[in-house]
Amino acid sequence: MPEIYVSWVKGLPQDEEALRILRENNLGVEMSNIDGQVEMIQDAGVRFSSHTPGLNLTLNLAKPDFMEAFEGEQGERLLQVIKSSDAQVVGFHLGYSANHVYKMMAYPNIPTPKTIITDRQVLLETFAENLARAWSEINRYINRITGATSEAVRKTIVVETLDFSRKRPILWNLQSEEAKSHQEKIQGIVDQYGINAGILHVTEPSFIKDILKKTDSYCIEPGRLPEPVEFLFDVGHNFISADAKINNREFSGSVEDYFEEMLRAAAGRVRQLHLTVPAGNDEEGYSDQHRPFTPGDPLSDRILGLSKLIYKESPEVLQITLEIKTDLPPVDHAKKMVAQAEYIVQQLGL
């Protein structure tokens, strides 16, 4: 049975009762934190899984200076947290088809001018090289600290795609002062490349297939794992992407067809699932709001059905994360996560 992890909420690592509830129900916590909250979770006997460790440090594999995240005292701490994580996998976003992006609100992040990468092959090689170097850096560190060379103690990187969006206008009244000050440049990029300018190629199933193969070729080391980098199937992200591509006439099949195509691209290499329910509808589209599962709700049931499809066809899954946002106090959040976990275990037949 895959290990189940749940989402972090503010105050959770400091709340003994909330941590007790998670521990007694055998639920771990997935976080991006590299601060002392990690030790608070683990000292309470609760498992910790590292996803986008250091957050902004590891969110974009297209950055030419990506590997600087692993340097100096900050890099030492980043590696320490990854090593100490209880999960075998450590998650990264593939990120963007650009070196840098403007942070947007209620809209996809948009590349800054002259940093966009339109060449698929260049993007593929940049991602693969950074992934291979990160995998090597992480596991060399583990070997150095532990003195172990066994594959059993190595970490596997899992990568996930962001969500592709339907066409819509930018709501400038919601944007930051920085974005507003670059309004003309941002609008120019959108006019030229579209709303998904920041993730050109990145969400394509064929790109996922190629990135896994290319990274394998870069990770040739004596005694290495067969697959150093594998796939994190984020159900919400892929559902939103499928809907948008169908609406934008960029995919001719159904949402289910899109999921089957992604499963074929990552065949045998889906090591982790992110489960959550988006917001929205078929008329206006969907957004990634990390809602809980609600029995009887049509959208929730549809996402659950897609989750069952993925799990049935991916016996290699090691970890399932309920990436659900509740905004509840820690104890109430923990109780909600227990209920959600019980529902998922029952529905997926874990």
Residue 253 amino acid letter: G
Per-residue pLDDT band for 228 (boundaries 50, 70, 90) equals confident
Closest CA to 199 of 171, 241, 169: 241
Structure tokens at 209: 């297939």
pLDDT, tens digit (0-9, with 9 covering 90-100), for 72-104: 999 999 999 999 999 999 999 999 999 999 999
pLDDT at 150 over 90: no
pLDDT, tens digit (0-9, with 9 covering 90-100), for 309-334: 999 999 999 999 999 999 999 999 99
- Which residue carries 């920041």 as its tokens? 198
Structure tokens at 296: 């009887």
Closest CA to 220 of 117, 331, 132, 131: 132
Report residue 168 CA to chain centroid gap. Answer: 24
Domain boundaries, the chain: 3-93+118-160+197-348
pLDDT, tens digit (0-9, with 9 covering 90-100), for 158-200: 999 999 999 999 999 999 999 999 999 999 999 999 999 999 9
Alpha carbon distance, N-terminus to C-terminus of the chain: 6
Q: What is the torsional sign of CA 340, 344, 345, 350?
A: negative
Structure tokens at 111: 């590349």
Per-residue pLDDT band for 221 (boundaries 50, 70, 90) equals low
Mean pLDDT across the stretch 237-249? 97
Q: Which residue has the higher pLDDT, 46 or 55?
A: 46
% pLDDT > 90, the chain? 90
If you write DSSP's letter for every residue of 163-226 in order, what string do you get? ---------GGGS-HHHHHTHHHHHHHHHHH-TTGGGTTTT-HHHHHHHHHHHHHH---TT--S
Q: Kindly report whether the global pTM for this prediction surpasses the value 0.85.
A: yes
Q: What topology does CATH give the domain 3-93+118-160+197-348?
A: TIM Barrel (3.20.20)
Q: What are the φ/ψ torsions at residue 288 (nearest 5 degrees)?
A: -85, 85
Structure tokens at 340: 């959600």
pLDDT at 225 over 50: no
- Which residue carries 């690592």 as its tokens? 13
